[in-house]
Amino acid sequence: MNRFQFRDDLTSADVAFDAFGSTREELFRNAAAALLKVMLDQPEALLEKEERRFALRSELGDEGEATEELLHEFLQRLVYYKDADEILLAVKSLRFEKKPGETLLEVDAVGEKIDPPLKALGALGTDVKGVTQHHFGITRSDSQWKATIVLDI
Protein backbone atom coordinates (compact mmCIF):
# COMPACT_ATOMS: atom_id res chain seq x y z
CA MET A 1 0.00 0.00 0.00
CA ASN A 2 1.25 3.51 -0.81
CA ARG A 3 1.64 5.75 2.20
CA PHE A 4 0.33 8.71 0.23
CA GLN A 5 -0.20 9.81 -3.35
CA PHE A 6 -0.19 13.37 -4.69
CA ARG A 7 -3.07 14.25 -7.01
CA ASP A 8 -3.23 16.36 -10.15
CA ASP A 9 -6.94 16.70 -10.39
CA LEU A 10 -8.21 18.55 -7.32
CA THR A 11 -6.33 21.82 -7.43
CA SER A 12 -3.99 23.74 -9.70
CA ALA A 13 -2.84 26.49 -7.36
CA ASP A 14 -2.17 24.29 -4.31
CA VAL A 15 -1.25 20.71 -3.42
CA ALA A 16 -3.61 17.76 -2.96
CA PHE A 17 -2.93 14.22 -1.82
CA ASP A 18 -4.56 11.04 -0.65
CA ALA A 19 -3.07 9.43 2.43
CA PHE A 20 -3.63 5.76 3.27
CA GLY A 21 -3.36 3.47 6.27
CA SER A 22 -4.40 0.05 7.43
CA THR A 23 -5.23 1.63 10.79
CA ARG A 24 -6.36 5.07 11.84
CA GLU A 25 -2.97 5.68 13.46
CA GLU A 26 -1.15 4.74 10.27
CA LEU A 27 -3.42 7.04 8.25
CA PHE A 28 -2.55 10.00 10.48
CA ARG A 29 1.15 9.16 10.39
CA ASN A 30 1.13 8.96 6.59
CA ALA A 31 -0.86 12.18 6.19
CA ALA A 32 1.78 13.91 8.30
CA ALA A 33 4.48 12.35 6.13
CA ALA A 34 2.84 13.73 3.00
CA LEU A 35 2.60 17.20 4.56
CA LEU A 36 6.29 17.01 5.47
CA LYS A 37 7.20 15.88 1.95
CA VAL A 38 5.65 19.05 0.52
CA MET A 39 7.74 21.27 2.79
CA LEU A 40 10.92 19.17 2.81
CA ASP A 41 12.08 17.65 -0.48
CA GLN A 42 14.34 15.30 1.43
CA PRO A 43 12.37 14.19 4.51
CA GLU A 44 15.04 11.60 5.26
CA ALA A 45 17.32 14.53 6.10
CA LEU A 46 15.20 15.44 9.12
CA LEU A 47 17.00 14.79 12.38
CA GLU A 48 15.36 14.27 15.77
CA LYS A 49 16.69 17.31 17.56
CA GLU A 50 13.42 18.92 18.65
CA GLU A 51 10.39 17.32 20.21
CA ARG A 52 6.80 18.48 20.53
CA ARG A 53 4.13 16.62 22.46
CA PHE A 54 0.56 17.75 22.14
CA ALA A 55 -2.95 16.49 22.68
CA LEU A 56 -6.05 17.27 20.65
CA ARG A 57 -9.64 16.49 21.47
CA SER A 58 -12.87 16.24 19.58
CA GLU A 59 -16.24 16.40 21.27
CA LEU A 60 -18.11 15.17 18.22
CA GLY A 61 -20.09 12.06 19.03
CA ASP A 62 -19.83 10.39 15.65
CA GLU A 63 -16.50 8.56 15.42
CA GLY A 64 -16.08 9.34 11.72
CA GLU A 65 -16.66 13.05 12.21
CA ALA A 66 -14.43 13.11 15.26
CA THR A 67 -11.64 11.43 13.32
CA GLU A 68 -11.96 13.97 10.50
CA GLU A 69 -11.91 16.87 12.93
CA LEU A 70 -8.85 15.46 14.65
CA LEU A 71 -7.01 14.85 11.38
CA HIS A 72 -7.60 18.44 10.30
CA GLU A 73 -6.48 19.81 13.66
CA PHE A 74 -3.48 17.48 13.77
CA LEU A 75 -2.14 18.59 10.40
CA GLN A 76 -2.89 22.24 11.20
CA ARG A 77 -0.90 21.87 14.40
CA LEU A 78 2.15 20.67 12.49
CA VAL A 79 1.82 23.73 10.22
CA TYR A 80 1.49 25.91 13.32
CA TYR A 81 4.79 24.58 14.73
CA LYS A 82 6.45 25.29 11.39
CA ASP A 83 5.55 28.99 11.73
CA ALA A 84 5.55 29.55 15.49
CA ASP A 85 8.62 27.49 16.39
CA GLU A 86 10.27 27.35 12.94
CA ILE A 87 10.61 23.59 13.06
CA LEU A 88 9.54 20.75 10.78
CA LEU A 89 8.24 17.64 12.46
CA ALA A 90 7.68 13.97 11.74
CA VAL A 91 5.45 11.75 13.88
CA LYS A 92 7.25 9.57 16.39
CA SER A 93 4.14 8.15 17.99
CA LEU A 94 0.43 8.85 18.23
CA ARG A 95 -2.39 7.34 20.19
CA PHE A 96 -6.16 7.66 20.21
CA GLU A 97 -8.18 7.37 23.36
CA LYS A 98 -11.95 7.30 23.60
CA LYS A 99 -13.36 8.94 26.71
CA PRO A 100 -16.94 9.77 27.66
CA GLY A 101 -18.01 12.66 25.44
CA GLU A 102 -14.71 13.05 23.64
CA THR A 103 -11.99 11.45 21.54
CA LEU A 104 -8.40 12.27 22.43
CA LEU A 105 -5.37 12.19 20.20
CA GLU A 106 -1.93 12.29 21.82
CA VAL A 107 1.00 13.01 19.55
CA ASP A 108 4.73 12.85 20.00
CA ALA A 109 6.53 14.53 17.08
CA VAL A 110 10.23 15.04 16.44
CA GLY A 111 12.22 17.12 14.01
CA GLU A 112 14.57 20.07 13.75
CA LYS A 113 14.87 23.77 13.08
CA ILE A 114 14.36 24.92 9.52
CA ASP A 115 16.99 27.62 9.38
CA PRO A 116 19.83 27.11 9.30
CA PRO A 117 20.16 23.34 9.15
CA LEU A 118 17.48 22.31 6.68
CA LYS A 119 17.74 25.45 4.60
CA ALA A 120 21.49 25.09 4.38
CA LEU A 121 21.08 21.56 3.05
CA GLY A 122 19.00 22.87 0.17
CA ALA A 123 16.37 20.40 1.26
CA LEU A 124 13.36 22.68 1.58
CA GLY A 125 10.28 22.39 -0.58
CA THR A 126 7.25 24.67 -0.67
CA ASP A 127 5.74 26.49 2.28
CA VAL A 128 2.31 25.28 3.39
CA LYS A 129 0.01 27.94 4.79
CA GLY A 130 -2.72 25.62 6.00
CA VAL A 131 -5.03 22.67 5.55
CA THR A 132 -8.22 23.49 3.69
CA GLN A 133 -11.70 22.01 3.98
CA HIS A 134 -11.76 21.62 0.20
CA HIS A 135 -12.53 17.95 -0.64
CA PHE A 136 -11.39 17.12 2.89
CA GLY A 137 -12.62 13.76 4.09
CA ILE A 138 -11.84 10.26 5.33
CA THR A 139 -13.25 7.06 3.91
CA ARG A 140 -12.83 3.61 5.25
CA SER A 141 -13.13 0.19 3.67
CA ASP A 142 -12.47 -3.13 5.37
CA SER A 143 -8.74 -3.04 5.03
CA GLN A 144 -7.92 0.58 4.31
CA TRP A 145 -8.38 4.08 5.60
CA LYS A 146 -8.03 6.86 3.09
CA ALA A 147 -7.95 10.63 3.57
CA THR A 148 -8.12 13.31 0.89
CA ILE A 149 -6.42 16.56 1.80
CA VAL A 150 -5.79 19.83 -0.03
CA LEU A 151 -3.05 22.05 1.34
CA ASP A 152 -3.06 25.79 0.79
CA ILE A 153 0.29 26.94 -0.61
Partner 1 sequence: MIEGITRVSENLWEIPTSFKSGMRVPARIFASEKLLKEMDDAVFDQLTNVACLPGIFPYAFCMPDGHSGYGFPIGGVAATDAHDGVISPGGIGFDINCGMRLVTTTLTYRDVKPRLEALVNRLYQRVPAGVGSSGFIKLSRSEFLEVAEQGAHWCHRKGLATDDDLARTEDRGRADGADSSRVSQHAIERGIKQIGTLGSGNHYLEIQIVKPENVFDSRLAQAFGLFPDQVVVMFHCGSRGFGHQVASDYLKTFLRVMGPKYHIEVADRELACTPFQSPEGQAYFAAMKCAINMSFANRQIILHRIREVFSEIFGQSPANLGLRMVYDVAHNTAKLENHLIGGRIRSLVVHRKGATRALGPGDPALPEAFRSIGQPVIIGGSMETGSYLLTGVESGAQALFSSAHGSGRTMSRTRAKKEFRGKDLSEDMRRRGIYVRSVSYSGLAEEAGKAYKDIDEVAAITEAAGLSHRVAKFTPIGNIKG
Q: Is 119 in the site for partner 1 (CB under 8 A)?
A: yes
Stretch of 27-35, 51-59, 98-106, 133-141 lying at the interface with partner 1 (CB under 8 A) = 133-141
Q: Phi and psi for 136 in degrees, rounded to 5? A: -65, 130
Q: Is 13 in the site for partner 1 (CB under 8 A)?
A: yes
Secondary structure of residue 97 in the 3-state scheme? strand
Sign of CA dihedral 69, 133, 29, 89: negative
Helices 63-84 & 24-39, crossing angle to 10 degrees?
30
Q: Is 6 in the site for partner 1 (CB under 8 A)?
A: yes
In angstroms, the CA 15 to CA 10 distance is 8
User: Rule CB under 8 A: which of 54-83 touch partner 1?
Assistant: 76, 79-80, 82-83
Secondary structure of residue 149 in the 3-state scheme? strand
Candidates 114, 138, 147, 149: give the one binding partner 1 (CB under 8 A): 114
Q: Which residues bind partner 1 (CB under 8 A)?
A: 6-9, 11-16, 39-41, 76, 79-80, 82-84, 86-88, 114-115, 118-119, 122, 124-134, 136, 150, 152-153
